[in-house]
């Protein structure tokens, strides 16, 4: 049996008519960037998330960079990021000239460790730390009370990287609505995916929202009058229309993912493999279902791949050991939990459309590997 990590065709098929009609309308209107389609989607995201403002942008990476810029982060300001996340979390900070300052992750949740943040903040840092980017990795929230407490104490800004957790809840509030800004990615493979690149920023701060709208659109509030150095980070109308249709199904898809995860949990319990941990303060929307093995994840993944199951590792190299961040001066051993997670974790396919037969085959194959 062949089971891919993701099957977007199966997700799109039942919505095909709605999506085709929505896209046709954009073409008929020949309004392709921002405009009423984006305004409408932003309004619906405000309703969905409970945030006061939603600003549609070009992608999740730009959502982080713009948030940092709007919060006044300048070149050579330090920005704390977890060492174990997708490149873009730190890349978005580095690309505006800020200095990523890494912290380790928690062994159970894979999210940023409060203890490690405290260690970083207690050190004499070469660069003044001005912001932190907690990432809600794989779909469960970071310990936001802890992060916000430390941020308040040290007067630093908080940008939640919500790229993998749109719709997840932290103590009843939607991920991305707790910090100064929440950056969302609608990369096609995300739980709410566009038909190309798209992203969004959530905030409860009116001044920030106004700044972000100007920054995303070449720094002009009125066309051809540029008040600040802005960027071209606008959202395409087609993406907004597609996302607006898909948003109606998001809760249903997220709960289907949770059902798949529960099925895996039930059937893999008691085996020599660590199941995902859901922290008490958060729901988990399982953007990824991640297992941990005490043997090498490569061996496990190779076996699953041989049996036709598309298993991956997110991520094989922690950020402090990536070539592009060599200039930051980190070395192997600096963040032991991040390094261990990179060697021991791997995913099982998880999406709402997986059939019972496919799930059972995956479970059976995991058991075969463990039992030799």
**CA nearest 80: which of 328, 372, 322?**
328
Among 161, 169, 180, 339, the residue binding ligand PLP under the rule CB under 6 A is 161
- Please report how close the Cβ of residue 156 comes to ligand PLP at its closest, in angstroms: 19
Name which position in 51, 121, 156, 163 contacts ligand PLP (CB under 6 A). 163
In angstroms, give the least distance from the CB of 128 to ligand PLP.
24
Phi and psi (nearest 5°) for 271?
Answer: -90, 170
Residue with smaller CB distance to ligand PLP, 201 or 273 = 201
Site string for ligand PLP, 71-90 (x = CB under 6 A): --------------xx-xx-
Asked whether 70 and 212 are in contact (CB, 8 A), the reply is yes
* Shortest Cβ 31–ligand PLP spacing (Å): 23
59 is an interface residue for ligand PLP by CB under 6 A:
yes
CB of 134 to ligand PLP, least distance (A): 11
Closest distance to ligand PLP from the beta carbon of 61 (Å):
3
3-state SS, the chain, equals CCECCCCHHHHHHHHHHHHHHHHHHHHHHCCCECCHHHHHHHHHHHHHHCCCEEEEECCHHHHHHHHHHHCCCCCCCEEEEECCCCHHHHHHHHCCCCEEEEECECCCCCCECHHHHHHHHHCCCCCCEEEECCECHHHECCCHHHHHHHHHHCCCEEEEECCCCCCCEECCEECCCCCCEEEEECCCCCCCCCCCCCEEEEECCHHHHHHHHHHHECCEEECCEECCCCCECECEHHHHHHHHHHHCCHHHHHHHHHHHHHHHHHHHCCCCCECCCCCCCECECCCCEEEECCCCHHHHHHHHHHCCECCCCCCCCCHHHCHHHHHHCCCCCCCHHHHHHHHHEEEECCCCCCCHHHHHHHHHHHHHHHHC
Please identify which residue in 135, 200, 291, 342 interacts with ligand PLP, judged by CB under 6 A: 135
* 65 belongs to the binding site for ligand PLP (CB under 6 A): no
Measured from the CB atom, is 86 or 102 closer to ligand PLP? 86
Q: Which residues, listed in sequence order, are joined to residue 185 by a DSSP beta bridge?
A: 199
Q: Which residue in the set 111, 164, 237, 365 belongs to the binding site for ligand PLP (CB under 6 A)? A: 164
Is position 254 an interface residue for ligand PLP (rule: CB under 6 A)?
no
Binding residue (CB under 6 A) for ligand PLP from 53, 138, 187, 289:
187
Number of residues binding to ligand PLP, judged by CB under 6 A: 15
Least distance to ligand PLP from the beta carbon of 160, Å?
A: 10
- If binding is defined by CB under 6 A, does position 230 make contact with ligand PLP? no
Nearer to ligand PLP, 53 or 187 (CB): 187
Binding mask 199-218 toward ligand PLP (x if CB under 6 A, else -) reads x-------------------
Residues 240, 235: Cα–Cα separation, whole Å:
7
Only one of the segments 57-65, 75-83, 97-105, 240-248 lies at the binding site for ligand PLP (rule: CB under 6 A); that segment is 57-65
Decide whether 45 or 135 has the Cβ nearer to ligand PLP.
135
Is residue 61 involved in binding ligand PLP (CB under 6 A)?
Answer: yes
Cβ proximity of 96 and 69 under 8 Å: yes
Q: Which residues in 166-185 contact ligand PLP (CB under 6 A)?
A: 185
Q: Is 110 in the site for ligand PLP (CB under 6 A)?
A: no
Q: Which is nearer to ligand PLP, 22 or 82 (CB)?
A: 82
Which is closer to ligand PLP, CB of 233 or CB of 283? 233
Residue nearest to ligand PLP (CB): 60
Give the integer Cα–Cα distance in Å for 222 and 3: 50
Q: Contact positions toward ligand PLP, by CB under 6 A?
A: 59-61, 85-86, 88-89, 135, 161, 163-164, 185, 187, 197, 199
């Amino acid at each position: 049996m062949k089971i891919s990590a993701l099957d977007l065709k199966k997700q799109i098929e039942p919505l095909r008519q709605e999506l085709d009609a929505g896209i046709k309308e954009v073409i008929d209107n020949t309004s392709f960037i921002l405009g009423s389609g984006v305004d409408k989607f932003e309004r619906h995201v405000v309703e969905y998330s409970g945030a006061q403002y939603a600003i549609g942008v070009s992608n999740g990476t730009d959502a982080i960079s713009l948030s940092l810029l709007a919060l006044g982060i300048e070149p050579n300001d330090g920005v704390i990021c977890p060492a174990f996340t997708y490149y873009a979390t730190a890349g978005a900070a580095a690309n505006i000239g800020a200095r990523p300052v890494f912290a380790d992750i928690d062994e159970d949740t894979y999210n940023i460790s409060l203890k490690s943040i405290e260690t970083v903040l207690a050190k004499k840092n070469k660069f003044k730390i001005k912001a932190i980017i907690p990432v809600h990795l794989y779909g469960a929230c970071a310990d936001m009370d802890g992060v916000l407490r430390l941020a308040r104490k040290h007067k630093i800004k908080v940008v939640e990287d919500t790229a993998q957790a749109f719709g997840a809840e932290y103590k009843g509030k939607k991920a991305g609505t707790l910090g100064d800004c929440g950056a969302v990615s609608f990369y096609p493979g995300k739980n709410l995916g566009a038909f190309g690149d798209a992203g969004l920023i959530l905030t409860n701060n009116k001044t920030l929202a106004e700044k972000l709208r100007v920054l995303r659109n070449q720094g002009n509030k009125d066309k051809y009058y540029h008040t600040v150095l802005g960027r071209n980070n606008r959202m395409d109308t087609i993406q907004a229309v597609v996302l607006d249709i898909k948003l109606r199904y998001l809760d249903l898809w997220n709960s289907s993912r949770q059902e798949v995860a529960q099925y895996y949990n039930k059937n893999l319990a008691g085996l020599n493999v660590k199941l995902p941990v859901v922290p008490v303060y958060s729901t988990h929307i399982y953007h990824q279902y991640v297992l941990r093995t005490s043997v090498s994840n490569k061996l496990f993944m190779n076996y699953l791949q041989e049996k036709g199951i598309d298993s991956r590792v997110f991520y094989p190299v922690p950020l402090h050991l990536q070539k592009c961040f060599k200039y930051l001066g980190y070395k192997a051993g600096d963040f032991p939990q991040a390094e261990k997670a990179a060697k021991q974790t791997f995913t099982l396919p998880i999406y709402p459309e997986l059939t019972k037969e496919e799930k059972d085959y995956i479970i059976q194959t995991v058991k075969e590997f463990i039992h030799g």
